[in-house]
Structure 1
């Protein structure tokens, strides 16, 4: 299979867990060399789609094509080969506390290659340098800030020069400055790895406006939009306008009041 560029194409993709269907006939393209943001409300199916792209869940219907090949019809050898060329940045960095930063970042190389330790350390130093953490190679995760752990997670995700980089909520839990730094790092990854397909699952609208080339919006398991950022911003679709403007749904108030006697009883206990 060619490793020049790996576009990810979703064809009538439906999937979920057991008999519960979460994704419902999604069509869309996540192009190589671009940052594609998967956007949508909580519970809409973003993480489920990510698991399908990773090959952790098989589609109930439809297909995922990577580099022009149906991912789930490949033989086991080719399937594993593609999986090894995917890097994943988890929400919390997912670093092992018993290992140093360098050991954490180098773990994929130690598991999947027979490179000597000194070569792995040089590669790890290079990747940590890309995220501004080279001097912390011998630190442990509990000696780093949350933002630094996320950056270390990014270094581990790219340590094997993946063709596909999948990022699950990379700015969640970060303050505005660290979130902006993560956005900048993702843009630098796009520049440093020009053929890489970068997929970012997010609900961070500020980050979306800074990094997205391509956007797939999911609403209740269906694709509400797939295209460039400008097209999304100019859409007249009511849901998309509500999402981008952060307009809440109307929340119904309870029809039955608490009652004066119960309120008085509660107040007595709170004195």
Structure 2
């Protein structure tokens, strides 16, 4: 691919598992040089969409255009070439406990290039420096905090200077301070790699307001909104307003009488 920026355009995308359709005709654009957040409720199809962008699932119908090329219509060599230019930050960091931090971060370079180990270490040090972990290159994952492991996962995701960075719930499981640090790091990635397409799957509304340039909202497998953050915030759509205001659905709680005998039996056991 000769294009310098890789916009991602999703066109009438249907996808799922076996005969189960999870994505139902999604359309949207995730522009290069910006942070796009994929937002939606649990089970709406966010992770399934991420797997399609990564090329792990093939569409049942429709296409994903990357840099103007139909991703799934490319020959095997070109398909793999694009895959190598994608970095992934997994939800739990996904570090290998038997390897040092430096070895974990350098793993993609060791697998996909023939660079000397000394060169790989220099590249790894540079990437760890970008996430504030250069001093921990020879530590093992169990010697680091959860926030540090997540940051190390980000360093590994960018070690091959990807054109596309995909982040799965980067702030999940983090305390407010570490979550804010992750937001800041993603903003710094945008600054360091101005042509990179950064895609973030998230439930975190705080992060949404801090880092999002572009938002794709999925509701029941369909695109409820795709556009800039300002447009989302001003939308009058009932679902979008409910999502942004964290308003719960009503939960049916039918009154079921246990009966005096069951209550007495339970109380008797609790007294033993």
Query: Does the alignment reach a TM-score above 0.5?
Result: yes
Aligned residue in 1 for 2:176: 176
Deviation digits for residues 195-228 of structure 1 (CA, Å, limit 9, x no counterpart): 0000000000000000000000000100000000
Deviation digits for residues 14-52 of structure 1 (CA, Å, limit 9, x no counterpart): 100111000000000000000000000111000000000
Task: Give the count of matched residue pairs.
Answer: 271
Aligned residue in 2 for 1:151: 151
Structure-2 separation of matches of 1:194 and 1:232: 24
Deviation at 1:3, TM superposition (A): 4.2
* 1:3 and 1:163 in contact (8 A); partners too: no
* 1:37 and 1:199 in contact (8 A); partners too: yes
* 1:109 and 1:115 in contact (8 A); partners too: yes
Confirm whether residue 72 of structure 1 aligns to residue 50 of structure 2. no
Deviation digits for residues 63-119 of structure 1 (CA, Å, limit 9, x no counterpart): 000000000000000000000000000000000000000000000000000000000
**1:182-201 matched pairs, under 5 angstroms:** 182-201=182-201
- CA pair 29-133 structure 1, distance change in 2 beyond 3 A: same
TM-score of the aligned structures, taking structure 2 as reference length: 0.99
Structure-2 separation of matches of 1:14 and 1:257: 45
Structure-1 separation of matches of 2:91 and 2:3: 27
Deviation at 1:257, TM superposition (A): 2.1
Structure-2 separation of matches of 1:260 and 1:45: 45
Confirm whether residue 204 of structure 1 aligns to residue 213 of structure 2. no
**1:1-271 matched pairs, under 5 angstroms:** 1-271=1-271
Deviation at 1:137, TM superposition (A): 0.0
* 1:97 and 1:142 in contact (8 A); partners too: yes
TM-score of the aligned structures, taking structure 1 as reference length: 0.99
Structure-2 separation of matches of 1:78 and 1:257: 64
- CA pair 123-3 structure 1, distance change in 2 beyond 3 A: farther
Structure-2 separation of matches of 1:229 and 1:254: 39
Q: Find runs of 4+ consecutive structure 1 residues off by over 6 angstroms.
A: none
